[in-house]
Amino acid sequence: MVIAVRRASLGQLPNAPLALVLAQVVFSRHLSMRDRIPAIQDAVRREYPTFAETKIHALEIGAAGIKTKQVDRWQFGDATNQAGFLILEDGLVFNATAYRDYPAFAERLSTILGMFEALVPDLHVERLGLRYVDIIVPAGDEEPEEFIVSGLRATELSNIGRHANSMHFSQIFLDEGYLNFRYKRGGLNEHYMPDDLQPFILAPAAVTSRAKHAQSQGRSIAFLDFDRIVPNLSLRFDSAEVRSRFDRMHKDLSDAFKKVQTPHARKVWSTPP
């Protein structure tokens, strides 16, 4: 008898700390993107019925210096507001706080990519990004550092006082692009998310409620932020090719997630809540 054992990956753990998954496609600016929004809405209305048009502030660097400009952003969400996508003149972002595993996430992403390719043809892809954010919620007297390997901890000074806040950042260059990793304990915003992901528009993941409860009891909370980036691309927007690249990027993220967690973390995250 052969027993097959599948190693748990990002989001496949029954008590996973996953709070957000985000896939981003950056392309050359499409000045008539606004004209394509009605057709996009018609195509996705059944699965993504909520819609909002907003403006965000962005910095523009030019010969006259740095100035602030307003950027249009179109938001589509599902009925639970735990999955959706954003469209800008130069980008498409699909994100989710409800996440079963990568194949399920990638299937929904593929549908959006295929729709976008059909309705906004002839785009030129310049950059891809795939990002996972996890929230570490210790129990009892546990500390967040018990969940990450020793090389990422900043606890050497804890013997002279109470360890409150700490941060770690690593950048790893790969064959194509790089992976940014951040660990942050304490000083977190109300969504327990990296500050560059504000404003946060999705309904929170289940782990966020556990984090709020733990923090109300005086326990420290931390997040893990894995950001896989492939810049300097020059590709025609082909949904199948983009999906294939995201699959390879996910493998790098999954490998990184396994390397930073301790045996204690694997035990806790593998135990149903």
Instruction: Give me the number of domains the chain comprises.
Output: 1
**Within a domain: residue 82?**
no
Nearest to 234 by CA among 124, 144, 129, 154: 124
Q: Residue 102, SS3? A: helix
The pLDDT value recorded for residue 140 is 85
The pLDDT value recorded for residue 252 is 97
Q: β-pairing, 166-173 with 222-230?
A: unpaired
**Within a domain: residue 226?**
yes
**Within a domain: residue 123?**
yes
Buried b (16+ CB within 10 A) or exposed e, 199-216: ebebebbebbebbeebee
**Within a domain: residue 63?**
no
Using a 10 angstrom Cβ sphere, with 0-12 exposed, 13-18 middle and 19 or more buried, the burial of residue 169 is exposed
Taking the C-alpha atoms of residue 132 and residue 140, their distance in angstroms, rounded to an integer, is: 26
Taking the C-alpha atoms of residue 119 and residue 107, their distance in angstroms, rounded to an integer, is: 19
Peptide bond into 199 cis (omega under 30): yes
User: Which residues on neighbouring strands pair with residue 68, listed in sequence order?
Assistant: 59
Taking the C-alpha atoms of residue 75 and residue 86, their distance in angstroms, rounded to an integer, is: 5
DSSP 8-state secondary structure symbol assigned to residue 204: P
Q: What is the DSSP string of 249-264?
A: HHHHHHHHHHHHB-HH
The pLDDT value recorded for residue 124 is 96
**Within a domain: residue 216?**
yes
**Within a domain: residue 12?**
no
**Within a domain: residue 33?**
no
The pLDDT value recorded for residue 55 is 86
Per DSSP, the chain holds a count of helices (H) and strands (E) of 5, 10
Q: Cα 25 to chain center, whole Å?
A: 13
Q: Fill in the amino acid letter for 245.
A: R
Q: Would you say 103 and 21 are in contact if contact means Cβ atoms under 8 Å apart?
A: no
Supply the range of the domain harboring residue 243: 18-25+99-269
**Within a domain: residue 64?**
no
Is the dihedral angle over the CA atoms 198, 204, 210, 213 positive or is it negative? positive
Mean pLDDT by 10 residues, the chain (273 residues): 39 80 96 97 97 78 67 94 96 95 96 97 96 93 90 66 78 97 86 80 89 87 96 97 98 96 93 80
